[in-house]
Chain A
Amino acid sequence: KAGVTQTPRYLIKTRGQQVTLSCSPISGHRSVSWYQQTPGQGLQFLFEYFSETQRNKGNFPGRFSGRQFSNSRSEMNVSTLELGDSALYLCASSQSYPQDNEQFFGPGTRLTVL
Protein backbone atom coordinates (compact mmCIF):
# COMPACT_ATOMS: atom_id res chain seq x y z
CA LYS A 1 0.00 0.00 0.00
CA ALA A 2 1.47 3.36 -0.96
CA GLY A 3 2.20 5.79 1.88
CA VAL A 4 1.22 9.41 2.26
CA THR A 5 2.69 11.53 -0.49
CA GLN A 6 3.28 15.25 -0.40
CA THR A 7 4.17 17.53 -3.27
CA PRO A 8 6.31 19.40 -3.78
CA ARG A 9 9.01 18.29 -1.37
CA TYR A 10 10.80 21.63 -1.46
CA LEU A 11 9.56 25.10 -2.27
CA ILE A 12 11.10 28.55 -2.23
CA LYS A 13 8.85 31.60 -2.28
CA THR A 14 9.19 35.30 -1.53
CA ARG A 15 7.26 37.38 0.97
CA GLY A 16 3.78 38.32 -0.15
CA GLN A 17 3.36 35.39 -2.49
CA GLN A 18 0.95 32.55 -1.93
CA VAL A 19 1.62 28.83 -1.99
CA THR A 20 -0.40 25.63 -2.34
CA LEU A 21 0.80 22.34 -0.93
CA SER A 22 -0.70 18.99 -1.83
CA CYS A 23 -1.20 15.79 0.14
CA SER A 24 -2.41 12.40 -1.08
CA PRO A 25 -3.46 10.15 1.82
CA ILE A 26 -3.19 6.41 2.03
CA SER A 27 -5.91 4.74 0.01
CA GLY A 28 -9.05 4.33 2.12
CA HIS A 29 -8.08 6.99 4.65
CA ARG A 30 -10.65 9.74 4.97
CA SER A 31 -9.05 11.98 7.58
CA VAL A 32 -6.20 14.30 6.63
CA SER A 33 -4.41 16.52 9.13
CA TRP A 34 -1.84 19.25 8.50
CA TYR A 35 0.97 20.32 10.82
CA GLN A 36 3.62 23.02 10.79
CA GLN A 37 7.05 22.15 12.18
CA THR A 38 9.59 24.86 12.99
CA PRO A 39 12.68 24.92 15.21
CA GLY A 40 11.18 27.74 17.27
CA GLN A 41 7.61 26.59 17.77
CA GLY A 42 7.97 22.85 17.30
CA LEU A 43 5.08 20.87 15.87
CA GLN A 44 1.77 22.68 15.69
CA PHE A 45 -1.58 21.42 14.45
CA LEU A 46 -3.07 23.41 11.60
CA PHE A 47 -6.33 21.66 10.71
CA GLU A 48 -7.99 18.33 10.03
CA TYR A 49 -10.35 17.42 7.22
CA PHE A 50 -12.75 14.52 7.02
CA SER A 51 -15.06 13.82 4.09
CA GLU A 52 -14.35 17.24 2.56
CA THR A 53 -15.23 19.09 5.78
CA GLN A 54 -12.88 20.86 8.13
CA ARG A 55 -13.50 19.08 11.39
CA ASN A 56 -10.84 20.60 13.63
CA LYS A 57 -8.76 23.74 13.45
CA GLY A 58 -5.65 24.89 15.27
CA ASN A 59 -4.70 28.40 16.25
CA PHE A 60 -3.40 29.84 12.99
CA PRO A 61 -4.38 33.03 11.15
CA GLY A 62 -6.83 33.01 8.30
CA ARG A 63 -3.97 33.17 5.79
CA PHE A 64 -3.72 29.42 6.31
CA SER A 65 -6.52 27.51 4.67
CA GLY A 66 -7.15 24.09 3.31
CA ARG A 67 -9.59 21.89 1.54
CA GLN A 68 -10.23 18.25 0.87
CA PHE A 69 -11.52 16.71 -2.30
CA SER A 70 -13.93 13.83 -2.77
CA ASN A 71 -11.03 11.42 -3.27
CA SER A 72 -9.64 12.53 0.15
CA ARG A 73 -6.68 14.34 -1.37
CA SER A 74 -6.05 17.59 0.43
CA GLU A 75 -4.45 20.90 -0.33
CA MET A 76 -3.20 23.57 2.00
CA ASN A 77 -2.87 27.19 0.97
CA VAL A 78 -0.93 29.99 2.59
CA SER A 79 -1.56 33.48 1.27
CA THR A 80 0.55 36.59 1.72
CA LEU A 81 3.58 34.63 2.86
CA GLU A 82 5.68 35.92 5.74
CA LEU A 83 9.24 35.02 6.65
CA GLY A 84 7.92 33.19 9.70
CA ASP A 85 5.98 30.79 7.50
CA SER A 86 9.24 29.06 6.61
CA ALA A 87 8.75 25.56 7.97
CA LEU A 88 8.31 21.89 7.28
CA TYR A 89 4.64 21.25 6.56
CA LEU A 90 3.55 17.73 7.38
CA CYS A 91 0.43 15.96 6.28
CA ALA A 92 -0.95 12.90 8.04
CA SER A 93 -3.81 10.58 7.19
CA SER A 94 -5.89 8.16 9.20
CA GLN A 95 -8.95 6.03 8.64
CA SER A 96 -11.35 8.06 10.75
CA TYR A 97 -10.59 9.83 14.01
CA PRO A 98 -6.86 10.60 14.31
CA GLN A 99 -6.72 9.88 18.02
CA ASP A 100 -8.43 6.51 17.65
CA ASN A 101 -6.57 5.36 14.60
CA GLU A 102 -2.91 5.56 13.75
CA GLN A 103 -1.88 8.61 11.79
CA PHE A 104 0.52 8.03 8.94
CA PHE A 105 2.72 10.98 8.11
CA GLY A 106 4.11 12.05 4.80
CA PRO A 107 7.72 13.22 4.39
CA GLY A 108 6.67 16.86 4.42
CA THR A 109 7.08 19.90 2.21
CA ARG A 110 9.97 22.18 3.15
CA LEU A 111 8.85 25.76 2.51
CA THR A 112 11.40 28.55 2.53
CA VAL A 113 10.18 32.14 2.39
CA LEU A 114 12.76 34.74 1.33
Chain B
Amino acid sequence: AQSVTQLGSHVSVSEGALVLLRCNYSSSVPPYLFWYVQYPNQGLQLLLKYTSAATLVKGINGFEAEFKKSETSFHLTKPSAHMSDAAEYFCAVSPASGGSYIPTFGRGTSLIVHP
Protein backbone atom coordinates (compact mmCIF):
# COMPACT_ATOMS: atom_id res chain seq x y z
CA ALA B 1 0.00 0.00 0.00
CA GLN B 2 1.16 3.51 -0.66
CA SER B 3 -0.08 7.01 0.03
CA VAL B 4 1.01 10.61 -0.36
CA THR B 5 0.19 13.60 1.83
CA GLN B 6 0.85 17.12 0.65
CA LEU B 7 0.66 19.56 3.53
CA GLY B 8 -1.14 22.73 2.58
CA SER B 9 -3.50 22.96 -0.35
CA HIS B 10 -2.28 26.51 -0.96
CA VAL B 11 1.13 28.06 -0.38
CA SER B 12 1.67 31.77 -0.86
CA VAL B 13 5.10 33.36 -1.26
CA SER B 14 6.52 36.65 -2.44
CA GLU B 15 8.57 36.83 -5.60
CA GLY B 16 12.19 36.10 -4.71
CA ALA B 17 11.33 34.20 -1.54
CA LEU B 18 12.07 30.57 -0.78
CA VAL B 19 9.54 28.04 -2.02
CA LEU B 20 8.91 24.98 0.15
CA LEU B 21 6.21 22.48 -0.77
CA ARG B 22 5.84 19.55 1.57
CA CYS B 23 5.28 15.92 0.67
CA ASN B 24 5.19 12.90 2.96
CA TYR B 25 4.68 9.40 1.69
CA SER B 26 4.12 5.90 2.89
CA SER B 27 5.04 2.83 0.91
CA SER B 28 5.37 -0.85 1.75
CA VAL B 29 8.08 -1.28 -0.89
CA PRO B 30 11.00 0.91 -1.96
CA PRO B 31 9.43 3.86 -3.73
CA TYR B 32 10.05 6.04 -6.69
CA LEU B 33 9.00 9.61 -5.92
CA PHE B 34 8.00 12.35 -8.33
CA TRP B 35 7.09 16.01 -8.40
CA TYR B 36 4.92 17.31 -11.22
CA VAL B 37 3.72 20.80 -12.09
CA GLN B 38 0.44 21.61 -13.79
CA TYR B 39 -0.30 24.97 -15.36
CA PRO B 40 -3.91 25.98 -16.08
CA ASN B 41 -5.53 24.03 -18.92
CA GLN B 42 -2.45 21.87 -19.38
CA GLY B 43 -1.32 18.39 -18.50
CA LEU B 44 1.33 17.57 -15.93
CA GLN B 45 5.01 18.15 -16.48
CA LEU B 46 7.68 16.23 -14.61
CA LEU B 47 9.85 18.49 -12.42
CA LEU B 48 12.05 15.80 -10.92
CA LYS B 49 12.09 12.23 -9.70
CA TYR B 50 13.87 10.13 -7.10
CA THR B 51 14.83 6.61 -8.14
CA SER B 52 17.17 5.56 -5.31
CA ALA B 53 20.33 7.10 -6.71
CA ALA B 54 21.16 10.47 -5.10
CA THR B 55 18.95 11.58 -2.22
CA LEU B 56 19.15 15.21 -3.35
CA VAL B 57 17.47 15.47 -6.72
CA LYS B 58 17.75 18.48 -8.98
CA GLY B 59 15.02 19.20 -11.45
CA ILE B 60 14.01 21.71 -14.03
CA ASN B 61 13.33 25.41 -13.44
CA GLY B 62 15.63 25.55 -10.40
CA PHE B 63 13.63 23.13 -8.27
CA GLU B 64 15.14 20.41 -6.13
CA ALA B 65 13.90 17.86 -3.61
CA GLU B 66 15.55 15.77 -0.93
CA PHE B 67 14.55 12.21 -0.15
CA LYS B 68 14.63 11.61 3.61
CA LYS B 69 13.82 8.01 4.38
CA SER B 70 13.80 8.50 8.16
CA GLU B 71 11.17 11.23 7.82
CA THR B 72 9.40 9.62 4.83
CA SER B 73 9.50 13.00 3.16
CA PHE B 74 10.26 14.37 -0.27
CA HIS B 75 9.85 18.13 0.05
CA LEU B 76 10.23 20.38 -2.99
CA THR B 77 12.23 23.60 -2.73
CA LYS B 78 13.35 26.50 -4.85
CA PRO B 79 15.60 29.25 -3.47
CA SER B 80 13.89 32.15 -5.19
CA ALA B 81 10.30 32.15 -6.44
CA HIS B 82 9.42 33.60 -9.80
CA MET B 83 6.01 34.75 -10.94
CA SER B 84 6.04 32.01 -13.58
CA ASP B 85 6.23 29.38 -10.82
CA ALA B 86 2.58 29.97 -9.93
CA ALA B 87 0.90 26.64 -10.67
CA GLU B 88 -0.41 23.44 -9.12
CA TYR B 89 2.22 21.00 -7.84
CA PHE B 90 1.71 17.29 -7.33
CA CYS B 91 3.82 14.79 -5.45
CA ALA B 92 3.49 11.13 -6.48
CA VAL B 93 4.81 7.75 -5.36
CA SER B 94 4.99 4.48 -7.25
CA PRO B 95 6.56 1.11 -6.53
CA ALA B 96 10.18 0.86 -7.62
CA SER B 97 9.42 -2.18 -9.74
CA GLY B 98 9.65 -2.52 -13.47
CA GLY B 99 6.52 -4.60 -13.73
CA SER B 100 4.10 -2.92 -11.40
CA TYR B 101 3.28 0.70 -11.95
CA ILE B 102 0.30 2.13 -10.15
CA PRO B 103 1.13 5.65 -8.97
CA THR B 104 -0.53 7.45 -6.10
CA PHE B 105 -0.75 11.22 -6.29
CA GLY B 106 -1.11 13.76 -3.55
CA ARG B 107 -4.04 16.17 -3.63
CA GLY B 108 -1.86 18.94 -4.95
CA THR B 109 -0.56 22.25 -3.65
CA SER B 110 -1.41 25.47 -5.39
CA LEU B 111 1.59 27.84 -5.35
CA ILE B 112 0.69 31.52 -5.36
CA VAL B 113 3.46 34.01 -6.04
CA HIS B 114 2.94 37.66 -5.07
CA PRO B 115 4.89 40.44 -6.77
Contact = CB atoms under 8 A, between A and B. Distances in A.
A56 interface: yes
Contacts of A97: 98, 101
Given A99-B101, A99-B103, A90 B43 contact: yes
A56 B51 contact: no
Interface in B54-68: none
Interface in A51-100: 55-58, 90, 92, 97-100
A106 to B, nearest CB: 5
B99 to A, nearest CB: 8
- Chain B interface main SS type: loop
Interface string B36-59: 000001111110010100000000
B95 A105 contact: no
A100 B98 contact: yes
Nearest to A6: B43
A99 B95 contact: yes
A43 B90 contact: yes
Contacts of A103: 44, 46
B43 A4 contact: yes
Contact of B107 (A42, A100, A107): A42
Interface in A24-67: 33, 42-45, 48, 55-58
Given A99-B32, A99-B96, A45 B102 contact: yes
B61 to A, nearest CB: 15
B73 interface: no
B105 interface: yes
B101 A55 contact: yes
B100 interface: yes
Contacts of A43: 44, 90, 92, 105, 108
Interface of B: 32, 41-46, 49, 51, 90, 92, 94-108
Interface of A: 4, 33, 42-45, 48, 55-58, 90, 92, 97-100, 102-103, 105-108
